């Protein structure tokens, strides 16, 4: 079986042929290169209109020499509407002329699937790091669930904003990578919220540093070290939440050697497997469209022409994953014995005490790592006590060792909430989040792994790990707490809707008018993500 794929979501006009039996991919691409600045949608569409016929002709000639094609697959979205429409029209015309089925592929799911296909992994977490997107996906209950995402802009676009500011042409990522090799680390804002993250603050700070006379090589070094450390950290958080030990990388920013090095070091340290596809499959390409198209075609997932409209906001979690029906979820049963390794710390239990040590992260720059470990240890010790005084059950803090970033805590609960989900427990989570927010405290990472349940110590629900917490009364930050908890439930629970509904019900019943404003903002946050 051979499938011809066509890609053209933004800048890369590309066509490919995937020969399933030979497991061979032929790719012909003609990328758009703006003379200055970033991608201009009109110019990109003009390039698509000119280049798509050429690359398709080349791919088609390759296929005909090997016996023809059995289906046509195309990137249906997400992407720039004018470009997508050109690709969609070409795919429909070709499928009609050859009288073969048409397959519509989600571009972001294709980034994930090419890595899964080549690695042979069963059910990995995928970090997609591309121009317009940055998110973590995992397969669960028939779809790819968004475990974490950027709250403002894609990672490639964020870097391009800085490079345009300093006068460099598109694409900016390779130029930053080269400049960073000659730079010294510069401290820049680091923003992680559970498994979500934000790039707007670091980009503004990088521009300001450059304008203030800091060497551009130093700013580039700080930019890379900070942005990629954020991505590596949230990827590790996703591995910890789900319990899987497989990570694949997708997206054009994945070509950056420093990012791949960080992810590899992170995975090696926690005994996980890491795979990054060949660079030709990381940047936008039709090869990944053809490979996923073949899987969808084999599963009978094809489109009638009237149903084949493109969708510039086509989210990965909207895609029914027909080709993986019945396969294992990314979510695994959490371990509760011995020394448990979380995303940033080991937790060792001895009787009624727990020793929690924030581990040095070899993938992070030493200055950044030391700062984060110290700040988070201080924040956790302080906020655990403040939350308890506000009426939220938390473990008592027995000792703090700042040089070792270690806390000695009371053992609470019997199991993580991830291992004992119920509407009663998630309703209590909502009630206690409302209590925290009323006291001006944000937990920062209220996932199902950072809530303990059980009657030990006289309570049924305990909040732990306030390392990402802080003080604020802002409705946006309170809404993000709910968003983080909702994502963790969505990505791991068999029936997430009633569980999160119970959380919101408990929050609204306990928080009054202020809680209503937070839930209203939550709906805005949910629609803001750039994972579409």
Q: Say yes or no: do domains 2-113+282-321 and 120-279 share a fold.
A: yes
List beta partners, residue 273.
Answer: 246
Q: Which of 332, 444, 336 is nearest to 387 (CA)?
A: 444
Residue 66 burial (CB count, 10 A): 13
Whether the Cβ atoms of residue 174 and residue 158 lie closer than 8 Å to each other:
no
pLDDT of residue 513: 84
Least confident of 39-43, 241-245, 425-429: 39-43
pLDDT tens digits along 466-498: 999 999 999 999 999 999 999 999 988 989 999
Residue 302 parent element (H or E): none
Exactly one of 218, 301, 317, 445 is catalytic; name it: 445
Question: Tell me: the pLDDT tens digits for 351-362?
Answer: 999 999 999 999
**What is the value of pTM for the model shown?**
0.93
| pLDDT tens digits, 93-115 | 999 999 999 999 999 999 999 99
Q: Please confirm, yes or no, whether 352 is among the known catalytic residues.
A: no
The predicted pLDDT at position 530 comes to 44
For 224, the token pair is 């890379």
Both tokens of residue 18? Answer: 């995937």
Among 182, 511, 192, 523, CA closest to 372: 192
- Here the tokens at position 392 are 């939220």
512: confidence class by pLDDT, cuts 50, 70, 90: confident
pLDDT at residue 522, as a whole number: 95
Give me the CATH topology for the region 2-113+282-321: Nucleotidyltransferase; domain 5 (3.30.420)
Domain 339-526 CATH (choose: 1.10.510.10, 1.10.260.40, 3.40.190.10, 3.40.1390.30)? 1.10.510.10
Decide: 395 and 354 in contact? Cβ < 8 Å. Answer: yes
Q: What does the pLDDT look like over 126-150, one tens digit per residue?
A: 999 988 889 999 999 889 999 999 9
Could you tell me if 382 and 394 are in contact, meaning their C-beta atoms sit under 8 angstroms apart?
Answer: no
Residue 116: what pLDDT?
Answer: 94
Flag whether pLDDT at 38 surpasses 80.
no
Measured CA to CA, the distance from residue 185 to residue 165 in angstroms comes to 20
CATH superfamily placement of domain 120-279:
ATPase, nucleotide binding domain (3.30.420.40)
List the domain boundaries for the chain: 2-113+282-321, 120-279, 339-526
Report, as an integer, the average pLDDT of 488-513: 93
Give the pLDDT confidence score for residue 10 in this predicted structure: 87
- Closest by CA to 159, choosing from 41, 40, 252, 81, is 252
Q: Is the pLDDT of residue 335 over 60?
A: no
pLDDT score of 339 = 65
pLDDT digits (tens, 9 = 90+) for 168-227: 987 899 999 999 999 999 999 999 999 999 999 999 999 999 999 999 999 999 999 999
SS (H, E, C) 193-226: ECCEECCHHHHHHHHHHHHCCCCHHHHHHHHHHH
> pLDDT tens across 441-471, in order?
999 999 999 999 987 666 789 999 999 999 9
Residue whose C-alpha is closest to residue 492's, from 430, 388, 419:
419
Give the 3-state secondary structure percentages of the chain, helix then strand then coil, rounded to 5: 45, 20, 35
pLDDT at 148: 92
Say what the alpha-carbon torsion angle 129, 322, 330, 447 is, to the nearest 10 degrees.
70
HSE-CB at 133 with a 13 A cutoff on CA atoms is 34
Q: What is the pLDDT of residue 85?
A: 96
pLDDT of residue 450: 95
Copy the structure tokens of residue 206. 């990088």
For residue 529, the model assigns a pLDDT of 58
- Cis preceding linkage at 78, omega within 30: yes
């Amino acid at each position: 079986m051979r499938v011809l794929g066509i890609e053209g979501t933004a800048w890369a006009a590309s066509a490919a042929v995937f020969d399933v039996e030979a497991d061979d991919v032929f790719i012909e691409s003609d990328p758009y290169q703006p003379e200055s600045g970033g991608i201009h949608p009109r110019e990109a569409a003009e390039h698509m209109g000119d280049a798509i016929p050429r690359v398709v002709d080349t791919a088609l000639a390759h296929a005909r020499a090997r016996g023809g094609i059995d289906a046509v697959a195309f990137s249906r979205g997400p992407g720039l509407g004018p470009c997508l429409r050109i690709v969609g029209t070409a795919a429909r015309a070709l499928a009609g002329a050859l009288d073969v089925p048409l397959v519509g592929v989600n571009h972001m799911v294709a980034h994930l699937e090419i890595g899964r296909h080549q690695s042979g992994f069963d059910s990995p977490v995928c970090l997609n790091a591309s121009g317009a997107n940055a998110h973590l996906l995992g397969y669960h209950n028939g779809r790819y669930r968004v475990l974490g995402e950027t709250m403002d802009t894609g990672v490639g676009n964020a870097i391009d904003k800085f490079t345009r500011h300093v006068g460099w042409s598109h694409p900016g990522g390779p130029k930053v990578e080269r400049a960073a090799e000659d730079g010294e680390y510069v401290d820049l804002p680091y923003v992680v919220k559970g498994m979500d993250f934000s790039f707007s603050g670091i980009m503004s700070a990088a521009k300001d540093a450059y304008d203030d006379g800091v060497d551009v090589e130093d700013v580039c070094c700080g930019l890379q070290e900070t942005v990629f450390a954020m991505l590596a950290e949230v990827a590790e958080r996703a591995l910890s939440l789900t319990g899987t030990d497989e990570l694949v990388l997708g997206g054009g920013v994945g070509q950056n050697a420093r990012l791949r090095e960080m992810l590899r070091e992170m995975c090696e340290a926690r005994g996980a497997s890491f795979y990054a596809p060949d660079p030709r499959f990381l940047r936008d390409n039709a090869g990944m469209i053809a490979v996923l198209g073949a899987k969808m075609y084999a599963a009978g997932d094809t489109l009638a022409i009237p149903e084949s409209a493109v969708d510039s906001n086509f989210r990965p979690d909207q895609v029914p994953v027909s080709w993986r029906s019945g396969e294992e979820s990314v979510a695994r049963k959490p371990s509760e014995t011995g020394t448990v390794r979380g995303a940033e710390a080991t937790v060792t239990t001895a009787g009624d005490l727990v020793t929690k040590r924030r581990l040095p992260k070899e993938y992070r720059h030493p200055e950044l790592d030391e700062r984060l470990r110290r700040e988070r240890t201080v924040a956790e010790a302080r906020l655990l006590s403040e939350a308890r005084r506000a009426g939220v059950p938390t473990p008592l803090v027995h000792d703090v060792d700042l040089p070792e970033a270690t806390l000695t805590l009371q053992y609470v609960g019997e199991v993580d909430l991830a291992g004992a989900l119920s509407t009663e427990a998630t309703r209590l989570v909502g009630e206690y989040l409302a209590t925290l927010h009323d006291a001006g405290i944000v937990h920062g990472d209220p996932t199902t792994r950072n809530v303990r349940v059980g009657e030990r110590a006289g309570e049924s629900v305990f909040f732990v790990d306030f390392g990402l917490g802080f003080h604020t009364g802002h409705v946006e930050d309170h809404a993000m707490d709910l968003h983080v908890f909702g994502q963790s439930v969505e990505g791991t629970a068999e029936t997430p809707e009633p569980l999160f509904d119970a959380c919101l019900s408990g929050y609204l019943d306990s928080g009054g008018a202020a809680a209503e404003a937070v839930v209203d903002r939550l709906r805005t946050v949910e629609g803001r993500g750039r994972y579409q």
